[in-house]
Chain A
Amino acid sequence: MSDTGERARARFEPPVGAESGPFWEATREARLLVQWCTACDRGVFYPRSFCPHCTATGSVLEWRAASGRATVHAAVVEHRPEAAGATFSGGEPYCVALVDLEEGVRMVTNVVGCPPGDVRSGMAVTVTWEPLSDGRQLPLFRPAGGDS
């Protein structure tokens, strides 16, 4: 299920960066991809044509399916959505978090499916998807072990 609220609540929709086309295409099928550097065997985020860990370039960087499992590194609650220019929560406080994917990369996301103030560093979370207007989906996270 989608536990992310109603589609009617508009969200700022991400542009597709010059090097992140495959990431967003995969979201149409609810697949979470991360770039992987086969030269140094490490994940790369955000997508690029260059490995910031080992300086490798080009085809050594490949796209891999991520497990969708992650751990919350830090979480905060936005108490004034209007000040953040965010309408997707319908004016309610929401959680913004940095999560560490199992593949070793860190991304900004929203943790949904629980009260925003309940999200803690160290919490296990799993990916969930919110449809965007063009068929892409935005990866969000929810507490692991809950309904899926």
Chain B
Amino acid sequence: MDRVGRTLRGAAAIVGVDDDVSPTGDLDRSGRELEVAMVLGALDDAGLTLADVDGVCHADSAVAFAEYLGIHPVFTDSTMTGGSSYEVHVEHAAAAIAAGVCDVVVSVYAATPRSDRARARPRVRRAMAGPNPMVEWDMPYGLRTPMGPYALAAARHMHEFGTTAEQLAQIAVSTREWAALNPRARYRDPLTVEDVLASPLQVSPLHLLDCCLVTDGAGAFVMTSAERARSLPKPPVYVLGTATCTDHAGISQMPDLTTTPGVVSGARAFAMAGLSPSDVDVLMGYDSFTITALLHLEDLGFCAKGEGGPFAAEGSLGPGRGPLAMNTNGGGLSFTHPGMYGMFLITEAVRQLRGECGERQVDGAQVAVAHGSGMLLSVMSTAVLGTESTL
């Protein structure tokens, strides 16, 4: 065993969450106003106030956001890894709290791509700093991002393992079954495999209904030390294991198109937690596309490499079906996807572990995994979360 050890296990807990989405896909608020509402909402959920916050995570600039809040944090983290940024923030915040750097960390996300378009607001583009080889080597060929690279992974997975479009479609179907139980989900009508296959091809082999939504959405979480967490009103959700791995930026540099760096982040996070996939009650696996979720099932060890298609096709990932519940909020495919969806993996995992999910509640959920996928299958970050009973 390398230095992973169990150094962060149980040291910190998520004590407050908030999020805002709408079945219409549109939110009235946007920008800083929406971010501040999320921060204050999550702090209220935690029984804390802004005066308690001494750490700020924000994927654009934690410094600028702290200034806007008028606070003077001793810890800031502006890590931006795309959709997995918020799982990385969980990792960094837990490490900072465990090391005594700070005591109460808030991470926040808000994006309103849908209403921005309708209201002709200037589009926010998160550009890579520094040289970007993809502009020189990928863009001239009309590789649509992010969809094109995911389609390439799906095509290769089909070639190597015989995975079918029907199997991928079943992921969208099972996810929609969960969305039907979530009154805040964007799409709740029943969906069939035939519906998915009949939806227009985008970048083949991906159909429109293999792809995530474009909606407005926002959320925040608050984390503190396990010790302080126990004095707060809501049941703490402990960080049991957390790890991240990066293996490429552009798709031509991905070492193996059918194996994500989730193999590394998942193994390390489970090792830190002292748990295995069979211990997981709820998997919140980032579903930007159906293929993304399929790769998580394999790379996190819920099934063997190459068997994600048959595993998903059983339909057992939907409500009331099998031992593993995946994407119980309805996922990026049917609930919400404002661009960097990873925050919603965390808010849903926390609510499942608190037993707050109403009709879609997974009975007795003790262990949840929030597994974020960033950029072009580039950065995977895994957070294994658990209730008090898992410590």
Residues of chain A having any CB pair with chain B under 8 Å: 11-18, 20, 45-46, 73-81, 83-86, 88-89, 94, 96-98, 106-110, 117, 120-122, 138
Q: Choose one: B131, B135, B204, B252; the contact of A14 (CB below 8 Å).
A: B135
The residues of A that contact B137 with a CB separation of less than 8 Å are: 14, 46, 107-108
Given A20, A96, A106, which contacts B143 in the complex, CB threshold below 8 Å?
Answer: A96
A74 to B131, CA, bound (A): 26
- Do A81 and B142 contact each other (CB < 8 Å), given the known contacts A107-B252, A108-B251, A121-B159? yes
Q: Does B140 contact A (CB under 8 A)?
A: yes
Residue from the list B131, B144, B156 in contact with A84, Cβ < 8 A: B144
Let me know if B252 and A20 touch, CB within 8 A. Answer: no
Chain B positions 172 through 211: 1 when the CB is less than 8 Å from some CB of chain A, otherwise 0: 0000000000000000000000000000111111000000
In the assembled complex, the CB of A82 is this many whole angstroms from the nearest CB of chain B, namely 10
Contact call A14/B200, Cβ cutoff below 8 A: no
Task: Tell me, in angstroms, the Cα distance from A109 to B137 when the chains sit together.
Answer: 8
**What residues of chain B lie closer than 8 Å to A138, measured between beta carbons?**
140
Structural contact, B142 and A96, CB atoms closer than 8 A: yes
Are A108 and B156 in touch, CB under 8 angstroms? no
Contact mask B132-151 → A, CB, 8 Å, 1/0? Answer: 01011111111110001001
B202 partner, pick from A80, A97, A108, A121, beta carbons under 8 A: A80
Contact between A98 and B252, CB atoms less than 8 A apart:
yes
| Bound-state Cα–Cα, A85 to B144, Å | 8
Q: Do B201 and A20 touch (CB < 8 A)?
A: no
Minimum distance in angstroms from A3 CB to a CB of chain B: 16
A122 to B204, CA, bound (A): 17
A108 touches B204 (CB 8 A): no
How many Å lie between the Cα of A20 and that of B135 in the bound state?
13
Listed from nearest, the 3 A-B pairs whose CB atoms lie closest are: A86-B142, A84-B144, A121-B159
CA distance A45 to B140 in the complex (A): 16
Residues of chain B within 8 A (CB-CB) of A84 are 142-144, 148, 203
Contacts of A89 in B (CB 8 A): 142
Contact for B155 among A11, A16, A74, A78, CB less than 8 A: A74
B interface residues (Cβ-Cβ under 8 A, vs A): 131, 133, 135-144, 148, 151-156, 159, 200-205, 250-253, 257
Q: Which A residues lie within 8 Å of B202 (CB)?
A: 79-80, 83
A85: chain B residues at CB < 8 Å are 142, 144
Q: Which residue of A lies closest to B258 (CB)?
A: A74
A-B contacts, 25 listed (Cβ < 8 Å): A12-B139, A12-B140, A14-B139, A15-B136, A45-B252, A46-B133, A46-B136, A73-B257, A74-B159, A76-B151, A78-B148, A80-B200, A81-B142, A83-B144, A84-B148, A96-B142, A98-B252, A107-B252, A108-B138, A108-B251, A109-B141, A110-B142, A121-B156, A121-B159, A138-B140
Known: A74-B153, A121-B156, A122-B159. 14 other contacts (CB 8 A): A11-B140, A14-B135, A46-B136, A74-B152, A74-B257, A76-B205, A77-B201, A77-B204, A79-B200, A80-B202, A84-B142, A84-B148, A84-B203, A86-B142
Q: Are A78 and B152 in contact (CB under 8 A)?
A: no
Chain B residues closer than 8 Å to A12, beta-carbon distance: 139-140, 142
User: What is the CA–CA distance of A17 and B132 in the complex, to the nearest angstrom?
Assistant: 9
The chain B residue with its CB closest to the CB of A116 is B204
Nearest residue (CB) in A for B201 is A79
The docked-state distance in angstroms from the alpha carbon of A138 to that of B140 is 8
| Bound complex: CA A13 to CA B139 (Å) | 8
CA distance A88 to B142 in the complex (A): 8
Report Cα–Cα, A109/B92, bound state, in Å: 38
Name A138's closest neighbour in chain B (CB-CB). B140
Report the separation of the CA atoms of residues A83 and B252 in the bound assembly, to the nearest whole angstrom: 21
The smallest beta-carbon distance between B337 and chain A, in angstroms, is: 16
Cα A20 to Cα B205 in complex, Å, equals: 33
The residue in chain B whose Cβ has the minimal distance to the Cβ of A105 is B252
Which residues of the other chain, B, contact A17 by a CB distance below 8 angstroms?
A: 131, 133, 136
Contact A78:B203 (CB < 8 A) given known A88-B142, A138-B140 = yes
Residues of chain B with a CB closer than 8 A to A98's CB: 152, 251-252, 257
| A107: B residues at CB distance < 8 A | 137, 252
Residue of B nearest to A86 (CB): B142
Considering the chains assembled together, what is the distance between the CA atoms of A85 and B155 in angstroms?
A: 22
Select from chain A the residue with minimum beta-carbon distance to B144.
A84
A17 CA to B134 CA in the complex, in Å?
11
- Give the most central of B131, B133, B140, B153: most A CB within 10 Å: B140
| Given known A-B contacts A18-B131, A76-B151, A77-B204, A96 and B141 have beta carbons under 8 A apart | yes
Complex Cα distance, B133 from A110, in Å, reads 17
CB distance from B250 to the nearest CB of A (A): 8
